[in-house]
Amino acid sequence: MAHGDTIGGFEKTPGWLDWYEGPSTPTFRLPAGAVDAHCHVFGPGVEFPYAPERKYTPCDASAQQLFSLRDHLGFERNVIVQATCHGADNRALLDALRRSGGRARGVATVRRDVTEDELKELHAAGVRGVRFNFVKRLVDRPPTESLEEIVAKIAPLGWHVVIYFEAEDLPELYDFFSNIPTDVVVDHMGRPDVTKSPDGPEFALFLQFMRGNANVWTKVSCPERLSVTGPRALPEDVARSQRLAYTDVVPFARRVVEEFPDRVLWGTDWPHPNLKDHMPDDGLLVDYIPQIATTPELQRKLLVDNPHRLYWRD
Ligand code: 0GY
């Protein structure tokens, strides 16, 4: 079903896949206090227009719809990340944070000229970080000096920087990232190419980046985005009965969870922007978690302790 094709005068990017309605109930029971630490709101466009500089136009995905999903899956809280389709206009994000009753924190996008008062307003609403995006299909990359200026402005607030990049770009960005003085959170393990070996040089560089920088965390999220075999790597009856999906991503995420148990986060990535071949059942995504965090202790750190430490420390 389409979620508001042209409401507010916005027409979705051709081929856009809408989020999955009626997700299944996960078999895995999330621990009390679990946080979905990577998700977005889109619009609604009629209320919160999409940014003129956006590279895609999504379907609407409102705060209320996000909170319904949270409750259905068994999460208690969300970290809502500003999506590039809203540029540096954080109004939809702030509205969602205010509606959450303290159960959501946010990561915003700001420009170099952001003022102290604007940052204070974002902080009061629940923002605790900014996102720097280096994925070329999503944004035109801003100059490094502007990012350094932003870091200097947000560091005194105790915020962190979320970075999103493709694995092939890490060598070029490695030194810049290593010099960020705040905590740094890498989206989706730096997007490894999972057709390559988790023991190969590309993923080794990412692991080295985390080993060498104790301030770097990562989200072990988005198997649906990284997977090549997709949700049905196993024979369909086995996959369905055991609710195993995206198994080709497991060796990467499990390695990271086990080596850095105190610096990992997990999120659904709802409403899953820009997926091309399938839209995940968010219930099945939750059932991916015990494949990569295999003990109750690792699960508690990933889903409860770590996100609380980073986002609800004040
Ligand atoms: C994600 C991934 C994507 C998009 C965005 O802000 C965004 O537009 O993050 C993507 O297309 O890979 O993490 O949501």
| Residue 189: pLDDT over 90 | yes
Give the residue whose CA is nearest to atom 9 of ligand 1: 83
Give the residue whose CA is nearest to atom 6 of ligand 1: 83
Give the residue whose CA is nearest to atom 2 of ligand 1: 273
d(CA 307, CA 312): 8
Residue 115 is part of a domain; what is its CATH number? 3.20.20.140
Structural domain contains residue 265: yes
**pLDDT interval class at 243 (50, 70, 90):** confident
Structural domain contains residue 221: yes
Structural domain contains residue 25: no
Atom of ligand 1 nearest to the CA of 85: 8
| Residue 123: pLDDT over 60 | yes
| Residue 2: pLDDT over 80 | no
Measured from the CB, is residue 273 less than 6 Å from ligand 1? yes
Average per-residue pLDDT in the chain? 94
Structural domain contains residue 9: no
Structural domain contains residue 33: no
- Domain range for 276: 38-311
Active-site residues, by number, are 269
Radius of gyration of the chain (CA): 18
**pLDDT interval class at 230 (50, 70, 90):** confident
**In a mutational test of the pocket of ligand 1, which residue from 80, 86, 138, 227 has the highest number of ligand atoms less than 8 Å from its CB?**
138
Lowest mean pLDDT among 2-16, 163-177, 185-199: 2-16
Structural domain contains residue 135: yes
| Residue 176: pLDDT over 90 | yes
Measured from the CB, is residue 109 less than 6 Å from ligand 1? no
Lowest mean pLDDT among 62-71, 143-152, 154-163, 235-244: 235-244
Atom of ligand 1 nearest to the CA of 187: 13
Measured from the CB, is residue 138 less than 6 Å from ligand 1? yes
**Rounded alpha-carbon distances, angstroms, from residue 91 to 40, 112, 151, 261:** 13, 18, 21, 34
Within a 10 A sphere around the Cβ of 212, how many other Cβ atoms? Answer: 10
CB 189 within 8 A of CB 219: yes
Kindly state the tokens that stand for 109: 């996008």
d(CA 121, CA 119): 5
Instruction: Say what the pLDDT of residue 307 is.
Output: 98
Global confidence as pTM? 0.95
Instruction: Say what the pLDDT of residue 200 is.
Output: 97
Instruction: Say what the pLDDT of residue 244 is.
Output: 79
Instruction: Say what the pLDDT of residue 3 is.
Output: 57
List, for residues 42-98, the tens digit of each pLDDT value. Answer: 999 999 999 999 999 999 999 999 999 999 999 999 999 999 999 999 999 999 999
| Residue 1: pLDDT over 50 | no
Atom of ligand 1 nearest to the CA of 188: 13
**In a mutational test of the pocket of ligand 1, which residue from 66, 84, 224 has the highest number of ligand atoms less than 8 Å from its CB?**
84
d(CA 157, CA 40): 23
Tally the domains of the chain: 1
Instruction: Say what the pLDDT of residue 233 is.
Output: 52
Measured from the CB, is residue 274 less than 6 Å from ligand 1? yes
Lowest mean pLDDT among 90-94, 265-269, 274-278: 274-278
Measured from the CB, is residue 84 less than 6 Å from ligand 1? yes
Measured from the CB, is residue 269 less than 6 Å from ligand 1? yes
**pLDDT interval class at 142 (50, 70, 90):** confident
In the chain, pLDDT over 90 holds for what percent of residues?
Answer: 90
Cα of 249 from ligand 1 centre, angstroms: 18
Smallest CA-to-CA distance from 42 within 229, 214, 273 is with 273
Cα of 97 from ligand 1 centre, angstroms: 19
Atom of ligand 1 nearest to the CA of 225: 12
Instruction: Say what the pLDDT of residue 9 is.
Output: 75
Within a 10 A sphere around the Cβ of 47, how many other Cβ atoms? Answer: 13
What are the φ/ψ torsions at residue 286 (nearest 5 degrees)? -65, -35
Measured from the CB, is residue 281 less than 6 Å from ligand 1? no
Measured from the CB, is residue 83 less than 6 Å from ligand 1? yes
Instruction: Say what the pLDDT of residue 231 is.
Output: 81
**pLDDT interval class at 164 (50, 70, 90):** very high
Structural domain contains residue 305: yes
> What is the sign of the dihedral through the CA atoms of 72, 74, 76 and 77?
negative
Atom of ligand 1 nearest to the CA of 82: 6
Structural domain contains residue 30: no
